[in-house]
Amino acid sequence: MKFYLKKNKVRFAVAVFFAIAFAFAYVGISLLLQHIVDTATSGEILKAIIIAAGYTLAIALISFLQAHSEVKLNQKIAGEIRGNIVDKILKKDTLDFEKHKGSDYVSLVQNDVKKIEDSYVSTVLSIISYAIMLVLAVIVMTRYSWVFTVFMFVMTAIMFVVPMLFSKKLSGASEELSKAQENMTEGLTEVVGGFEVVRSLQKEDYSTSKFGIVNRYLIKKGVKFGLLKQMNNSASNTLMFTMQMVICILAGYFIYIGKISYGSMVGVIQVSGSFCQPLFELFALIPAIKALDPIVKKIGEYTEESQKAAEEETEDQAGKGNKHEWNKITFENVSFAYPDSEKETLKSVNLSIEKGKKYLIVGESGAGKSTLINMLCGNYEPKAGKVLVDGASEKQNMLKKLTAVVWQKVFLFNESIKENVMLGEINDAKYEKAIRNAEIEDVVKEKGADYKVGSDGSMLSGGQKQRVAIARAMYAERDIIVLDEGISALDNGTARAIEETLLDRQELTLISVSHHILPETRTRYDEIIELKNGTTVQNPVDKMEFAS
């Protein structure tokens, strides 16, 4: 978090200045009250009123400027944290990204950053302001009598144990609450995502029961955290009240023996509040800011950039705009296993992909087809063996730049059709060619290029979504297009037209994973790669009987 304060050092300095100014103004009230009471008791009522009114306006202005600077700094830092988290997530290595569920990332940005937004900046500035206030209160209190100061320090030493009792418990409760909020986000995602399944099978009670479990867990952890926080605050407030009562008794005694005036007594009582309040606020704030440590640590863990991702980013900057020439990609005895799993998904795979050729990948469910695609696209690194490009070992980043994938589960952004195809670029000629080759011109003409497709393409049919995804892959103009059941949601006529278009492009390398290849187009593929139990057999199409 210190990184963000340093990055916004000017805003932070302004906020600190007004926090300190408020501390001076607040402690100054005790001296003001003494002066006003002594002035009023001497008969100068009008003068006392003018002084009080002027000081009230001044402290109101300082208070506003303090709040204004704090809010601007807080929102700036919260925005930067959210932006940095998203930036780091998008740069993560695929396997690193898959260590956490999608709902966990959503919860991180929505819930955990919200806690920092609600607490961190205000707590830091409050600690600074209260620390200054405490020092000033000691100086002013000593001016009245060293007896008051000694008494308050003795009481402080006795009560110092309060935050120590709650700090560790608050930190643990905060971590548990964060986990409960993750579960809640996942639960809500299942309610929304599983709506059609639940309604069609009339399993509303089942879904409600599942949500009830995470809801009750969140309530339980929220109550635990809230009670600990309130217990900490209540203990601090009780001790502060006790101290002020004793100060009042001492002040009354000093008036009785003639050592201070009535105005001084009012000042002593006020400055005791200026000592007690910041002291016990600090006792409450220190555990509160420590309670954020698990969240800061969690953000660090979720956004930790792997060495591989850092290297890829450096390569991207160095090779930006360069065209990657290649002729052949070769897998030599490649094996792969997912993290925390001893079972190998791919075992000693040997295959070759030549530029311009067309390949079919077939295999039963669970044979490793999706894993193989991720290897071909550079998303996964082999556990053993080598992936070579033209005989040389290459970074996975190069494979990413060569391939465009149309995944079986299509994702569309809540943007227009055109934006979903171009993804921030502007090239109308490429766009028109892509939608024409993807057979989606009819949808664009009917709905318009600027038609918003809804969250994850909810306003389009499955086939329309798939055609937008195909147009997106074509628009990218990569050397290799991979179809992971990429035409399975299309009618035969549209599927055949798109497949023929891709097969006709001699310079394009096409890799198609499908159980639904049309008989008319099967023979146009050059080779079939069959996956079975994690191993591959690669043969020319005309040498292998393809079972429908």
CA–centroid distance for 187 within its chain = 18
CA–centroid distance for 138 within its chain = 43
If one counts every other C-beta atom within 10 angstroms of the C-beta of residue 2, the result is: 7
- The whole-number pLDDT of residue 72 equals 93
Q: Which residue in 511, 514, 491 sits closest to 503, CA to CA?
A: 511
HEC-encoded secondary structure of 368-392: CHHHHHHHHCCCCCCCEEEEEECCE
- The whole-number pLDDT of residue 192 equals 78
Between CA 42 and CA 44, with CA 43 as vertex, the angle to 5 degrees is: 100
Q: Tell which phi-psi region holds residue 331, choosing left (phi > 0), alpha (psi between -120 and 50) or beta.
A: beta
Q: Which residue in 95, 132, 502, 59 sits closest to 282, CA to CA?
A: 132
Measured distance CA(247)–CA(253) in Å, rounded: 10
- The whole-number pLDDT of residue 435 equals 92
Rg from Cα positions in the chain: 34
Measured distance CA(216)–CA(223) in Å, rounded: 10
Contact, 1 vs 17, CB < 8 A?
no
3-class state of residue 334 by DSSP: strand
If one counts every other C-beta atom within 10 angstroms of the C-beta of residue 45, the result is: 12
Phi, psi of 336 (to 5 degrees): -150, 140
Measured distance CA(510)–CA(505) in Å, rounded: 9
Measured distance CA(178)–CA(183) in Å, rounded: 9
Contact, 246 vs 275, CB < 8 A?
no
- The whole-number pLDDT of residue 516 equals 64
Contact, 275 vs 136, CB < 8 A?
no
If one counts every other C-beta atom within 10 angstroms of the C-beta of residue 337, the result is: 17
Structure tokens at 2: 């210190």
- The whole-number pLDDT of residue 546 equals 44
CA dihedral over 508, 512, 518, 522, signed as positive or negative: positive
Contact, 117 vs 78, CB < 8 A?
yes
Measured distance CA(157)–CA(286) in Å, rounded: 16
Q: Which amino acid is at 12?
A: F
Q: Which residues pair with 480 in a beta bridge?
A: 403, 509
Contact, 528 vs 538, CB < 8 A?
yes
- The whole-number pLDDT of residue 305 equals 66
Measured distance CA(170)–CA(164) in Å, rounded: 10
Structure tokens at 88: 């780091």
- The whole-number pLDDT of residue 543 equals 42
Task: Say if pTM beats, i.e. exceeds, 0.75.
Answer: no
In which element (H, E) is residue 528 found?
Answer: strand 527-532
Q: How many residues can be counted in the chain?
A: 548
Q: Which amino acid is at 283?
A: F
- The whole-number pLDDT of residue 487 equals 74
Going from the N-terminus, what domains does the chain have, and what CATH number goes with each?
2-302 (1.20.1560.10), 322-543 (3.40.50.300)
Full pLDDT tens readout for the chain, 548 residues: 778 888 899 999 999 999 999 999 988 888 888 888 888 888 888 988 998 899 899 999 999 999 999 999 999 988 888 888 888 888 888 888 888 888 888 888 888 888 888 888 888 898 899 889 888 888 888 887 788 778 777 777 666 666 667 777 887 888 888 889 888 888 888 887 777 677 766 778 888 888 899 999 999 999 999 998 888 778 777 777 777 787 778 878 887 888 877 777 777 777 777 777 787 777 778 777 888 888 888 888 877 765 555 555 555 554 555 567 889 999 999 999 988 788 888 998 999 999 999 998 888 887 888 888 888 888 888 889 998 888 887 666 788 888 998 888 888 888 999 999 998 888 999 999 999 988 889 999 999 989 999 888 889 888 888 889 999 999 988 999 998 887 777 788 888 888 888 888 889 999 988 766 666 677 888 888 888 887 888 878 764 454 44
| Helix runs in 257-362, H state only | 262-290, 293-302, 307-318
